Amino acid sequence: MSTQATQTRPGPSGASRLGALLRLRELPVTVALVALVIVTAAVNPLFLSPQGMKDLMLNATIMMLLAAGQTMVIVTRNIDLSVGSILGLVAFGTGSIFAAVPTMPIWLVLLVGVGFGALLGSLNGLLTVWAKVPSLVITLGTLYVFRGVNNGWAGPRQFFAGDRPEAFGNLSVDTLLGVPIITVLALAVVIVLAVYLAGARSGRDLYAIGSDPEAARLFGINTSTRVFTAFLVNGALAGLAGVLYASRFNAVGATTGSGLELDVVAAAVVGGVAIFGGSGTVIGAAIGAILLNTITSSLTALRVDKFWQQAIVGVLIITAILIDRLASLRHAKHLREREGRNV
Amino acid sequence: MSEHATVAVDTTAPLADVVPVRGPRWYAGRDATMVYILLAFLAYAALSIPRFASPVTTGFLLLDVVPTLLIAMPMTLIIVTGEIDLSVASIAGLSSAVLGVAWASGTGIWVSIFLALGAGLLAGIFNGVLVAYVGLPSLAVTIGTLALFRGLALVVIGDNAVANFPNEITALASAKLGTSGIPLVILPVVFVVLVFGLVLHHTAFGRGLYAMGYSKDAAHFVGINVGNSKFWLYVASGLVSAAAGVFWTLRYTSARSDNASGLELTVIAAVLLGGVSIFGGKGSIPGVLAGVLLIGSLNYALRLGRVSDVVLVTVTGLLLIASVIAPSVSAAVGRWRHSQRLRRHLARDQGAEPG
């Protein structure tokens, strides 16, 4: 039935293209972001000054990377709660590397960080796939284990920006066409991931697994390998985010990145990623991350009491889920009606 | 019923031994294992760690686990139905903030506590309506309310802290029963545990929760009101979390917006360690009780053994992972041994044939 429906779907006429645009899952979050920026800029023009824009981008960079990686995992109907701990471990590792070998080339440190993150992520993937235990439980466990290792390793020690080479810190100061280098890097990664998830066969498989794991297996998709890969990539992105964190922020220590995990999931949900898998895009999640970070800055620019910020973020998340629910109800009704007509 | 029994029990046993499952099966089950591990650990700690077996230990250990233990009760019921509540620690923070502000503005202490509990009740109703009646996924909703309630706590109290609670009330929070070292506050906690245990294990409502955990549709068709059940669980969760927040405030004599932050994951870890399945449909209050106490006493013992505080979280994590992969490991070992036996058997048969 459904295959017939796709075949008889009319070609991309003007009206249906508009319809498709209106059904985009990223639409609500994009509209919210644009509206927020316009309103804030109208009230406080300094908000969109070059420096203001740069701050916005810098603040969103790390969350954007994490949300993009998390999307890959959530799409397969899994979740990774350990990303905050992975980020912390890698950020502290970066600090230690520079403290031990200050002359280490930056590209090598980036590579080591990504590799370290991928290793930790693959541990999550291995445990989830092999033990067939829900990833929520496994990654809740590794959240504590990785954090404990970080605590034991760092103790009371902290590394400060002064311990790192100036060129490394400059990654988050220098700009390319007005965009900070680390943001350019993050954007590139997000775009590559988006293209992969939208176009590549193995990327589409992830959606199939998330929609119905059993059907995906029967269809011949190697679900274990795909899910494992999703965790590995997510770990690698968290590792990259960890290195960039060490470049962006002054101090890295035992508690770096703790508590980030739920913010990351929230960013993905706000960006239209369904929490039970099967739909959502990396771009949407990245926009969600930008929105959540921008709210903080724009509320400050609007002189809203800073204590209201978190409550507003909460309202935003719930609104995003409500919108998603309404849209899926409408879509289901639409499908039912069409089926009825076809019979 | 008999189907589940045969899963847990050696299938070669005659059926007559399997039917009266209630007693013997429990003693061999997952929950009982947690209780054995807890008892073994307590015995080991009492014998080998100096100063562990003392009234001081009992006092501090029990006081430390009270918030986790309280919130773990409704959390168990919620996870048994296949849902989750991540907003519990934020509700505790909100109730702490309300208590502090109400008291600081001159309200009587008991009225302030009442208001704090009321805030938790409202928070629970909010969660319950969204999950049970609007039908949103609880994981997503409670991530949202985790931020919302913590945010409201900030709105209420800002970055102030209220600390000048009346002495007789804060003393009550850490008072001991005579010389036994058992805190007075354990009495109401035991009452809460008993209530939730009875509801889950000895009422039709409780049986319904397991049914919902297996299949919401099937539960609906046998006449369980799935929506209402979930709604009341979230209301209970809000109320109990608020009570935990009040206790937290009085015990540390400080009402702050960030009280109990991060507690949600500790509670969930303890509940899952206690044998509750995250998929729903499995778990029991005694198992969870053992899980909470095991994490609490392990942390306390390690601290006495001068293991640094920071390594403790690793132990929690490893315990959690070990507890969930243990069934998979034992199943894998079982399969391996079975195939070994089969191979040996076949080899013998083949060896016998030519001769």
The DSSP annotation for B247-285 comes to: HHHHHTT-B-TTTTTTHHHHHHHHHHHTT--TTSS---H
Average confidence (pLDDT) over A228-244: 93
| pLDDT given for residue B123 in this prediction | 96
Q: Do B265 and A143 lie within an 8 Å CB cutoff? A: yes
Region B254-269: what's the mean pLDDT? 85
Tokens representing A142 are: 């590794």
> Using the beta-carbon criterion (under 8 Å), do B328 and A254 form an inter-chain contact?
no
Query: Which member of B134, B313, B328 has the closest CB to residue A132?
Result: B328
In a domain, A41, yes or no: yes
What is the Cα–Cα distance from B57 to B106, expressed in whole angstroms?
37
Which carries the bigger pLDDT value, residue A288 or residue A313?
A288
Which chain B residue has the Cα nearest residue A309? B151
Q: Counting one residue from A and one from B, how many pairs have CB atoms under 8 Å apart? A: 149
Whether residue A2 is contained in a domain is answered as no
Residue B138 has pLDDT above 70, yes or no: yes
Query: Which helix (H) or strand (E) element contains residue B209?
Result: helix B204-214
Look at residue B16 and tell me whether its pLDDT is greater than 50: no
List pLDDT tens digits, range A272-291. Answer: 888 887 888 899 899 999 98
Contact residues, chain B, for A315 at CB < 8 Å: 144, 148
Distance, CA of A271 to CA of A284 (rounded, Å): 4
Set out the domains of chain B in order of their start, with CATH numbers. Answer: 29-316 (1.10.3470)
pLDDT band at B143 (very low <50, low <70, confident <90, very high): confident
Q: Do the Cβ atoms of A152 and B310 come within 8 Å?
A: yes
Please check whether residue A172 lies inside any domain of the structure. yes
In this predicted structure, the answer to whether residue A7 has a pLDDT above a threshold of 70 is no
Residue range A251-267, pLDDT digits in tens: 787 778 877 887 898 89
> B162: which DSSP letter?
B
Q: Which residues of A touch B278 (CB under 8 A)?
A: 134, 136-137
Q: Of A164-178, A280-294, B118-132, which one has max mean pLDDT? A: B118-132
A239 band by pLDDT with thresholds 50, 70 and 90: very high
Q: What six digits make up the tokens of A52?
A: 């203001």
Confidence of residue A6 (pLDDT cuts 50, 70, 90): very low
- Spatial separation of the C-alpha atoms in residues A116 and A89, rounded to whole Å: 9
Q: Is A324 within 8 Å of A272 (Cβ atoms)? A: yes
Identify the CATH number of the domain in which residue A183 sits: 1.10.3470
Asked whether the beta carbons of B76 and B34 are under 8 A apart, the reply is no
When scoring A82, A143, A255, A318 by the number of chain B Cβ atoms within 10 A, the one with the most, hence best to mutate, is A318
pLDDT above 90 covers a percentage of chain B that reads 37
Adjacent-strand bridge partners of A252: A159
The mean-pLDDT minimum among A60-74, A236-250, A328-342 falls in A328-342
Establish if A174 belongs to a structural domain: yes
Backbone dihedral angles phi then psi of residue A220, each to the nearest 5 degrees: 105, 10
Q: What is the pLDDT of residue B18?
A: 41
B56-72: b (≥16 Cβ within 10 Å) or e: ebbbbbbbbbbbbbbbb
Q: What is the pLDDT of residue B309?
A: 63
Task: Print the domain residue range for A123.
Answer: 27-329
Provide the number of structural domains found in chain A. 1
Contact assignment for B317 to A321 by CB distance below 8 Å:
no
Structure confidence at residue B22 (pLDDT): 53
Q: Is residue A338 in some structural domain? A: no
Residue type, B334: G
pLDDT, average across residues B299-312: 74
Judge: A311–B147 Cβ closer than 8 Å, yes or no. Answer: yes
Strand partners, A72: none
Residues of chain B contacting A134 with CB distance shorter than 8 Å:
278-279
Please, are residues A263 and B150 in contact by the beta-carbon 8 Å criterion?
no
Confidence of residue A321 (pLDDT cuts 50, 70, 90): confident
Confidence of residue B87 (pLDDT cuts 50, 70, 90): very high
d(CA A213, CA A211): 7
Assigned token pair, B89? 């620690």
CA distance A112 to A131: 28
Beta strands, E only, A146-285: 175-176, 179-180
Where is pLDDT greater, at A79 or B311?
A79
> Angle at CA A185, nearest 5°, toward A182 and A187?
110
Measured CA distances, B30 to A130, A314, B25, B248, B318 (Å):
21, 38, 10, 31, 18
Q: Which residue has the higher pLDDT, A115 or B352?
A: A115
The pLDDT, as a whole number, for residue A1 is 38
**Whether A133 and B324 lie within 8 Å, measured CB to CB:** yes
Question: Tokens at residue A221, please?
Answer: 């998709």
Task: Give residue-wise pLDDT tens across range B157-170.
Answer: 988 888 888 888 88
A215 domain residue, yes or no: yes
Give the range among A15-19, B125-129, B285-289 with minimum mean pLDDT: A15-19
Q: Determine whether A119 is exposed, middle or buried from the number of CB atoms within 10 Å of its CB (0-12, 13-18, 19+).
A: middle
Distance, CA of A58 to CA of A184 (rounded, Å)? 10
- Taking chain B, what is the end-to-end CA distance rounded to the nearest angstrom? 49
Average pLDDT over every residue of A309-315 = 83
* Optimal mutation site among A78, A133, A269, interface B, most CBs of chain B within 10 A: A133
Q: CB–CB of B136 and A131 under 8 A?
A: no
Contact A142, A231 (CB under 8 A): no
What's the mean per-residue pLDDT of chain A? 83
Q: Residue A180's pLDDT is what?
A: 83
Report whether pLDDT(A2) > 50. Answer: no
Q: Please tell me which residue, B118 or A221, carries the higher pLDDT value.
A: B118
Distance to chain A for B264, nearest Cα, Å: 11
More confidently predicted of A11 and B345: B345
Q: A132: which chain B residues are within 8 Å (Cβ-Cβ)?
A: 328
Q: What is the residue-wise DSSP string for B235-247?
A: HHHHHHHHHHHHH
| pLDDT tier for residue B24 given thresholds of 50, 70 and 90 | low
Which residues sit opposite A159 in a β-bridge? Answer: A252
Greater confidence, B352 or B19?
B352
User: How far, in whole angstroms, is CA B256 from its chain's centroid?
Assistant: 24
Residue B157 tokens read as 């109290």
Residue of A137, A146, A317 lying closest to B320 (CB–CB): A137
CA angle A234, A236, A237 (to 5 degrees): 65
Closest partner residue to B147 among A147, A305, A314, by Cβ?
A314
In a domain, residue A177? The reply is yes
A25-43 pLDDT tens trace: 778 788 888 888 888 888 8
ipTM strictly over 0.90?
no
> Residue A96: which pLDDT band, with cuts at 50, 70 and 90?
confident
Taking the CA of residue A127 and the nearest CA in chain B, the distance in Å comes to 8
Please say if the pLDDT value at position B14 is more than 60. Answer: no
A169-224 pLDDT, tens digit per residue, is 777 777 777 778 888 888 999 999 999 988 888 889 889 888 888 888 888 888 88
Pull the structure tokens for residue B273.
């360690």
Residue A144 corresponds to which tokens in the numbers above? 């504590």
Mean pLDDT of the region B317-329: 79
The pLDDT score that the predictor gives to residue B1 is 40
Residues of B in contact with A325 (CB under 8 A): 134-136
Query: What per-residue confidence (pLDDT) applies to A286?
Result: 92
Q: Which pLDDT value is given to residue B4?
A: 45
Whether residues B147 and A137 touch (CB distance < 8 A) is answered with no
Question: Residue A270 above 80 pLDDT?
Answer: yes
Can you give the pLDDT at residue B310? 65
A-chain residues near B316 (CB < 8 A): 144
Which residue of A152, A269, A315 is in closest CB contact with B148?
A315
Cβ-defined contact of A265 to B143 (cutoff 8 Å): yes
Q: Domain for residue A31, yes or no?
A: yes
CA distances from A94 to A154, A310, B280 (A): 12, 30, 41
* Structure confidence at residue B6 (pLDDT): 41
Q: In terms of pLDDT, which residue wins out, B122 or B177? A: B122
Average pLDDT, chain B: 84
Nearest by CB to A136, which of B148, B278, B329? B278
Of A130, A134, A140, the CB nearest to B269: A140
Average pLDDT over residues A80-97: 90
- Tell me the shortest Cα–Cα distance from A313 to chain B, in angstroms: 7
d(CA B299, CA B51): 15
Q: Is B181 left (phi over 0), alpha (psi -120 to 50) or beta?
A: left
pLDDT of A23 higher than 60: yes
CA distance A101 to chain B (A): 27
pLDDT of B337 over the 90 cut: no
Between B280 and B68, the more confident residue is B68
Q: Which residues pair with B183 in a beta bridge?
A: B176
Which comes out higher in pLDDT, residue A88 or B347?
A88
Residue with tokens 């009780």: B289
CA atoms within 13 A on the CB side of B222: 13
B164 to chain A nearest CA, in Å? 23
Q: Which residues in chain A are closer than 8 Å to B312, comparing Cβ atoms? A: 148
For residues B317 and B144, what is the distance between their CA atoms, to the nearest angstrom? Answer: 25
Which candidate in B126, B159, B278, B324 is best for mutational testing of the A interface (most A CBs within 10 A)? B324
Confidence at residue A16, expressed as pLDDT on a 0 to 100 scale = 67
